[in-house]
Structure 1
């Protein structure tokens, strides 16, 4: 993972993370202090990499501000976007993160972004130390699994128009911030197909 410049989390950036953890996990101030001790601040410029293929994903990343994407490069050089992440979402190449193997994907910033990173061993230690954090992690992983399964079933059984409609309804926060060619890549359709589907959808609304 590329971390040329990083520092321990500052008060302003961490506070947004603290609000998220208070509301989502019910952590106390003392428990938040434990989290803060192992949290690293990282700022990315637009198009700057957080992770490149071949590196190991050592960190779980919380998006305090901005938008990231995880993608892989096909044998023909085309990009295949696997997921996006905006404010209050987590991001990593979890296959590499969990196994310790080199990543097959890349993560970069679609917008200038502010991130909070926790190294895997520290994240695991928080899970083992703070019961509420462990339950919170289990809920996150369950939601991530459900979303992945839903996307697989969508790609198998839905038309391009159905995938597009479900995308804009399920992820309105992405649609206004992600370029159309990236939306097309995420949906597994060509840009031309997406343009046609968007026109049909607008006409039928």
Structure 2
């Protein structure tokens, strides 16, 4: 398995030398997961950050009553981990589960810390990735407070069409914080041209 997609991803943010690329190659693990397999389960320590080469995953919190509260989806060229657990090496608050057969490139905590020392620009790269993620999360919180369910759905549909086509409606409803029946009504209104 080639790790070229990950190297290309890093090089879009920082410029790596061939020697630095080789150091990264030595630390990367390639893994394949089946649909419904977990990358991380609530309560376990997240030992890897996962770069998706192929596939789709969801990050969710399972409440005591058994409901799934989906925080995000991730597809090719995205990262998927419980970052709080990974950074602190403490039990995960979230589950990360494959929606499709998924291929990943993984870095474990110890190896990533070692690479930060050997390749300081890689730490800068991950700072930029984390900053972007934080901004996106904050914007999503504002949307959840200030937009209607229909507006949230239209935003998702416009900005993540590749994801919408790959996930079941009940998962999208969970992500939007509504029931699948309500999402169905919203889609029906849109199909009929209802602008309200």
Q: TM > 0.5 between the two? A: yes
* SS of match in other structure, 1:90: coil
Unaligned runs of 5+ in 2: none
> Using the alignment, how far apart are the partners of 1:96 and 1:134 within structure 2?
18
- Deviations along 1:126-177, one digit per CA (max 9) or x if unpaired, are 2232233222111101110001101111111110001001111121221111
User: Partners in 2 of 1:15 and 1:185 — Cα distance?
Assistant: 34
Q: Identify the residue that residue 54 of structure 2 maps to in structure 1.
A: 65
Q: Of 126, 131, 134, which residue of structure 2 is paired with 1:145?
A: 134
For residue 6 of structure 1, what is the aligned residue in structure 2?
Answer: none
What is the TM-score when the length of structure 1 is the normalising length? 0.89
CA contact (8 A) 1:127 1:137 kept: no
- Mapped to 2, the partners of 1:28 and 1:182 lie a distance apart of 41
**How far off is 1:19 after superposition?**
2.4
Residue in 1 aligned with 2:87?
Answer: 98
2:27 to 20, 38, 63: 38
Q: How high is the TM-score relative to the length of structure 2?
A: 0.93
Q: CA RMSD in A?
A: 1.4
Asked whether 1:56 is paired with 2:51, we answer no
Asked whether 1:122 is paired with 2:111, we answer yes
CA distance in 2, matches of 1:180, 1:61: 25
Distance 1:96 1:47 in 2: 21
Structure 1 regions of 5+ residues with no counterpart? 1-9
